Chain A
Amino acid sequence: MTCPVNGPRAISEFAYGGEIRPMPDPTTCSDDAWADYVFNRNGSPGVKREWWCHTPSNTWFVAERDTARDVIVRTYLYAGDS
Chain B
Amino acid sequence: MRLPPQSGEWIDRSQPLNFRFEGRAYTGFEGDTVASALWASGVSMLGHSFKYHRPRGILSAANHDVNALMQAGGTPNVRADATPLEAGMALTAVNTFGTLERDAGRFLGGFARFLPVGFYYKAFHSKRLFPLWERMFRAMTGLGRVGFATPRLRTPKRYGFCDVLVVGGGPSGLNAALAAAEQGADVVLVDEHARLGGSTHGASDLVDQVTAHPRIRVFTDTFAAGYYADHWVPLVERDRITKMRARAVVVAAGAYEQPAVFRNNDLPGIMFATAAQRLIRRYAVRPAQRVVVLAANADAYRALEAFIDAGIEVAAVIDLRDDVPADQQSVLAALRIPLHTGHCIVEALPANDGKRVAAVRVAAVGAPAPATNITCDGVFMSVGWAPAAPLLYQAGTKMRYDDGVHQFVPDTLPDGVFACGRVNGIHTPAARLLDGERAGSAAAAHCGFGTMKAISVPAEMESPTHPWPIVSHPKGKNFIDFDEDLQLADLENAIQEGFDNIELMKRYSTVGMGPSQGKHSNMNALRVLARATGSTPGEVGTTTARPFFHPVPMSHLAGRGFTPERRTPMHALHTAAGAVWMPAGVWQRPEYYAIAGQSRSKCIEGEAMAVRSGVGLIDVGTLGKLEIRGPQAAEFLERVYISKYAGLKVGMTRYAVMCDESGVVIDDGVVARLADDHFYFTTTTSGAALIYRELSRWNTLWKLDCGIVNLTGAMAAMNLAGPKARAVLAGLTDVDLSFPYLAVREGTVAGVPARLMRVGFVGEWGVEIHVPAEHGAAVWDALMAAGQAHGIRPFGVEAQRLLRLEKGHLIIGQDTDGLTTPGEAALDWAVKMDKPFFVGQRSLQAIAGKPRRQQLVGFMLPAGHAGDAPKECHLVIDNGDIAGRVTSIAWSPSLSRHIGLAYVQSGMAAVGNTLTIRLSDGSLVTAEVVKTPFYDPDNLRQKETT
Contacts and interface: CB of A to CB of B under 8 A. Distances in A.
- Contact between chain A and chain B defined by CB under 8 Å: yes
Where chain A touches its partner, the secondary structure class is mixed
B701 A58 contact: no
A35 B693 CA distance: 24
Interface string A5-21: 00000110001010000
Interface residues of A, number: 21
Contacts of A55: 693
A80 B245 CA distance: 35
B503 interface: no
Contact of B696 (A11, A26, A60): A60
Interface string A22-55: 0000100101001101110000000000010101
A80 B710 CA distance: 24
B700 A26 contact: no
Interface in B684-727: 692-693, 696-697, 700-701, 703, 710
Contacts of A34: 842-843, 846
A34 B841 CA distance: 11
A58 B703 contact: no
B693 A53 contact: yes
Contact of A58 (B661, B692, B845): B692
In this complex, the member of B229, B245, B837, B842 whose beta carbon has the largest number of chain A beta carbons within 10 angstroms is B842
Contact of A26 (B245, B697, B703, B837): B837
B536 interface: no
Interface string B657-677: 000011000000000000000
A82 B703 CA distance: 13
Nearest to A23: B661
A38 B662 contact: yes
Contact of A80 (B703, B842, B843): B703
Contacts of B710: 58
Nearest to B230: A11
Given A51-B697, A82-B701, A26 B692 contact: no
Interface residues of B, number: 18
Contacts of A53: 693, 696-697
Contacts of B696: 53, 58, 60
Nearest to B229: A70
A82 B662 CA distance: 20
Nearest to B232: A10
A78 interface: yes
A60 B841 contact: no
A38 B662 CA distance: 6
Contact of B841 (A26, A37, A51, A58): A26
Contacts of A29: 842
Contacts of A15: 693
Contact of B697 (A31, A38, A60): A60
Contacts of B692: 58
Contacts of A70: 229
A17 B692 CA distance: 13
Interface of A: 10-11, 15, 17, 26, 29, 31, 34-35, 37-39, 51, 53, 55, 58, 60, 70, 78, 80, 82
Counting from the closest, the 4 A-B pairs by CB-CB distance are: A26-B842, A60-B700, A31-B846, A38-B662
Given A11-B229, A26-B842, A53-B696, 13 more contacts: A10-B245, A15-B693, A26-B837, A26-B841, A26-B845, A31-B846, A34-B842, A34-B843, A35-B846, A38-B843, A51-B697, A78-B700, A80-B703
